[in-house]
Structure 1
Amino acid sequence: MDEVTSGDNGTAAEVVIPVNGAALSAHLAIPPQAAGLVVFVHGSGSSRHSPRNQYVARLLRDAGLGTLLFDLLNEAEENDRGNVFDIGLLAGRLSEVLAWLRTRPAAKGLPVGLFGASTGAAAALWAASNGNADVAAVVSRGGRPDLAGAHLAEVRAPTLLIVGGLDHTVLELNEAAAAQLTCEHAVEIVPGATHLFQEPGTLQQAAVLARDWLVRYVR
């Protein structure tokens, strides 16, 4: 389905985003009178159909924020596992998607935030470190922000790192990454949660933390 112009009923459409010779499948949903828009950047082995991301996206739309869920790689690219962990490639791809998004009539003028998971969080922070990206806020859920390396110090968008309390190694990596951030930032630990937040109630806790941060800054 082609994109429709945002109006009284908002925007909801399956779209194809052209990026550097590739075509990426995406779902764009913007509620009526949206205050901003959040781009989801999934990690390795996930897609725009991830139930966890879909859950968070619904929560954000209920709070008046639009969402864009897209596949960072097309099917052929995903067959090369090296692409899945190439943070520079993913960050560049995300930057192209952000540039495309700003040309869409339905998204015109809306501040944009990023929600990243796993390696997608590193790509989100890398892309946000480019001042031209004009990113209003970043949230990482169970992410690997450490993989953004030296780009962390260049991030200016308020950044929230959400980590499961039982995800010990990733928690250490997030705390180390937070020490390199010079922007406003916070680390929130969800007690009893492992890496995928599969324990009862933990995904909901993480989603509420993400929603509150994004509603605060993406307006």
Structure 2
Amino acid sequence: MSVISQMVSVPADRVTLPGEFVVPASSRATAVLAYGLHASPQDPHVRSVADELHRAGFATLVTDLFSETEAQRSDRGEGQQVDLALLGRRLVAAVDWVTIQPDARGLPVLLCGSGAEAAVALLAAADLPDGVSAVVSCDGQPELAGAALERVRVPVLFVVDAEEPQSLSAHQEAARRLAGPHTLREVPGLTRRFTEPGVLQRAVHTIEEWCEELVPRTG
């Protein structure tokens, strides 16, 4: 499989976000993976997620929502401790950047996130009704997107662990607020770090199946 891979710097709201941009041959879409709150783009499980998406036919932009200077600080944390609206604007800038890259121009864009980053993806989608094709939330916290949920018109996939009833209930409540279609799929053992054997592969297979109608393979 021929692959274009490069480390990149994405200009966003007065800062520069570090990232990795990978485009396999015959990619069906670009998945923009936002990290920086519960995980770093350098974490091994993040690399594993991106690799599985490449095998499924997706290009990826894995980006930190914080600049390198901000990433060195110890006070960035989960949703309530940071300005999610600011991070949403940065993710919008990342989408703007990736859509003009020659190797990905014309590809549909999916926003992907876990935990609070899923809320950031939904915030960005609310501001980009024509700029993204879908949002994927894996073990996310969509409720943190608040009123912006009511402006999300693109299809949304929620991947959840059915054995966590509190999380399932929160996702169902968030889904009711969406302005567009949604799908809720259950993957037993799902966590943000995909620690159980086989869970990552099942989650990516779920995403791939769901995306087939939206962005079918062409190669």
TM-score by length of 2: 0.86
Matches within 5 A, 1:106-121: 106-121=103-118
CA distance in 1, matches of 2:196, 2:168: 17
**Deviation digits for residues 104-123 of structure 1, max 9, x if unmatched?**
11111111111111111001
* C-alpha deviation, 1:33, in angstroms: 2.3
Shifted more, 169-178 versus 88-97: the winner is 169-178
Structure 1 residue aligned with 2:141: 144
CA distance in 1, matches of 2:192, 2:57: 28
Whether 1:74 and 2:74 are equivalent positions in the alignment is no
Does structure 1 conserve the Cα–Cα contact (< 8 Å) formed by 2:109 and 2:131? yes
Pick one of 198, 204, 209 that aligns with 1:207: 204
CA distance in 1, matches of 2:85, 2:166: 23
Pick one of 100, 114, 120 that aligns with 1:123: 120
Does structure 1 conserve the Cα–Cα contact (< 8 Å) formed by 2:114 and 2:138? yes
CA distance in 2, matches of 1:73, 1:124: 15
Does structure 2 conserve the Cα–Cα contact (< 8 Å) formed by 1:167 and 1:194? no
Question: Structure 1: any 5+ residue segments left out of the alignment?
Answer: 1-7
Q: Which secondary structure does the structure 1 equivalent of 2:65 belong to?
A: coil
State the AA in 2 paired with 1:154: R
* C-alpha deviation, 1:101, in angstroms: 1.4
Structure 2 residue aligned with 1:49: 42
**Deviation digits for residues 27-70 of structure 1, max 9, x if unmatched?**
10111122211100126231222333322322221222211101
Structure 2 residue aligned with 1:13: 6
CA distance in 1, matches of 2:130, 2:82: 22
Whether 1:169 and 2:155 are equivalent positions in the alignment is no
**Deviation digits for residues 88-132 of structure 1, max 9, x if unmatched?**
011011001111112211111111111111111001011111245
> Among the aligned pairs, what percent are the same residue?
36
Does structure 2 conserve the Cα–Cα contact (< 8 Å) formed by 1:139 and 1:214? no
Count of residue pairs the alignment pairs up: 212
CA distance in 2, matches of 1:129, 1:81: 24
CA distance in 1, matches of 2:105, 2:9: 18
CA distance in 2, matches of 1:85, 1:139: 21
Whether 1:95 and 2:88 are equivalent positions in the alignment is no
CA distance in 2, matches of 1:205, 1:9: 25
Does structure 1 conserve the Cα–Cα contact (< 8 Å) formed by 2:139 and 2:192? yes
CA distance in 2, matches of 1:193, 1:180: 24
Q: Which secondary structure does the structure 2 equivalent of 1:34 belong to?
A: coil
CA distance in 2, matches of 1:192, 1:9: 33
Structure 2 residue aligned with 1:64: 57
CA distance in 2, matches of 1:30, 1:166: 35
Structure 2 residue aligned with 1:5: none
Does structure 2 conserve the Cα–Cα contact (< 8 Å) formed by 1:114 and 1:124? yes
TM-score by length of 1: 0.86
Pick one of 68, 83, 88 that aligns with 1:86: 83
**Deviation digits for residues 10-31 of structure 1, max 9, x if unmatched?**
4211111122221211110111
